[in-house]
Amino acid sequence: MVVIEKVQSLFVSKPSQPAKKIHALDGIRGFAILFVFFDHAKGQGLELFPILNPDGFGKAGVYLFFVLSSFLLAGQFFREDCDLGRLSLWGSYALKRVLRIYPLYICIMLLYGIVPSFKYQGSDVLSHLFLQEGKDQFWAIPVEFKFYLFLPVLMWLIVKVLKKNLGLTTLFLAAVGSTSFLVTINPPEVARISLVKYLPIFLFGILAALIHAKLQKQPQLQDSSVFGNIAESMAILSLMATVGLIVALRAQPDWWILQQSWSDRLVFIAFGGLWSLFMVAQLHGRGLIRGILSHPIIRFVGTISFSMYLWHMALIGYTNAHLNLAQPIKFSIILAITFGISIMSFFVIERPFFRLKKYLPQ
């Protein structure tokens, strides 16, 4: 019944214009997880449409998740009614972040430790839960959680010291991002889960959130068709540029490894900048892209995207090894199974913990 009500709310209700902007962000999550799924399926030899090459879109999808995460979290602190001096605010923030990641993450890690074919020892499970390791798709979890820990420091400085001044904040974030260029982390397996390596991507999301907050206070721009057309064009161009960057990079051997050279860090800046520009531009555009992102189906995929991210590699690997069918049929079955497991996972594990948030201070 709960699932039916959720689906009905997505497909039957008619959202207001402000709601459509929020729905578009859910849609971005939906596309991001599909980028990741299609790329990882291709890595297992599975393709739905061989003419469409998803190589490289998986990493780009994760970087989009990073930008969206920092955009949404920073946006909460930029609200006028947000008092950073309240201790309860930070306690609520910390608990919400734990509830967002750990309930499902613990379940998945325990499963990986129990099922022999995953080859995860007890020490592997513990090192993942304590954010000391990130094998397979789990590398993004410690990176994301470390950003949660670092964000309050950045927000305090931006809001309390820089007074949300756009120019000063831009310079400050540029300085923080530039500092990350000077830091080298060894060995490579530690660098893979280091926030420092991916920090510029998150910083662009913060800057995008501040720009969005400033634009919302400019009703003359919001009502301007010229501004809307310019923003929509910028969203389309930034999306095209991102696709072009992926195509150009995958021509380089092992580009997805991206170790610690300056050129690699420039790749992170490029992805962070392009995705952030896309994020803000589509929110303030005429609504063409926002309408696509707000479609109920892609929004629903976005709703279950975290479950899909944690489950999909195991389901792709296991099902692919046990099904002897034509590629498109096998791909479709695996995608359907992933959707099914992720929907159950969301409503049984994720959603109950989401509901605890309403008892926390806002």
Instruction: Return the pLDDT at 183.
Output: 78
| Confidence bin at 50 (pLDDT 50/70/90) | low
Question: What does the pLDDT look like over 330-356, one tens digit per residue?
Answer: 888 999 999 999 999 999 999 988 887
User: In the predicted model, what is the mean pLDDT of residues 149-153?
Assistant: 95
User: In the predicted model, what is the mean pLDDT of residues 144-148?
Assistant: 96
Question: What does the pLDDT look like over 217-236, one tens digit per residue?
Answer: 888 887 788 998 999 999 99
User: What gap in Å lies between CA 300 and CA 11, rounded to an integer?
Assistant: 9
Instruction: Return the pLDDT at 321.
Output: 78
| Confidence bin at 359 (pLDDT 50/70/90) | low
DSSP 253-320: TTGGG--SSHHHHHHHHHHHHHHHHHHHHHHHS-SHHHHHHT-HHHHHHHHTHHHHHHHHHHHHHHHH
| Mean model confidence pLDDT for the chain | 85
Share of the chain above pLDDT 90, in %: 51
User: In the predicted model, what is the mean pLDDT of residues 266-289?
Assistant: 90
234, 235, 238, 244: CA torsion to nearest 10: -120
User: What gap in Å lies between CA 203 and CA 279, rounded to an integer?
Assistant: 14
Instruction: Return the pLDDT at 358.
Output: 67
Instruction: Return the pLDDT at 141.
Output: 95
pLDDT of 256 over the 60 cut: no
Instruction: Return the pLDDT at 11.
Output: 44
Distances (CA, A) of 255 to 55, 106, 116, 146, 267: 11, 31, 32, 24, 10
pLDDT of 18 over the 70 cut: no
Lowest model confidence (mean pLDDT) among 14-23, 146-155, 346-355:
14-23
Angle at the Cα of 29 from the Cα atoms of 26 and 31, rounded to 5 degrees: 115
User: In the predicted model, what is the mean pLDDT of residues 199-216?
Assistant: 94
For residues 7 and 80, the model is more confident at: 80
Question: What does the pLDDT look like over 90-132, one tens digit per residue?
Answer: 888 999 999 999 999 999 999 999 987 778 888 889 999 999 9
**Residue 248: how many other CB atoms lie within 10 Å:** 11
| Confidence bin at 12 (pLDDT 50/70/90) | very low
| Confidence bin at 322 (pLDDT 50/70/90) | confident
Q: Residue 309 carries which side chain, given as an amino acid letter?
A: Y
pLDDT of 13 over the 60 cut: no
For residues 3 and 248, the model is more confident at: 248
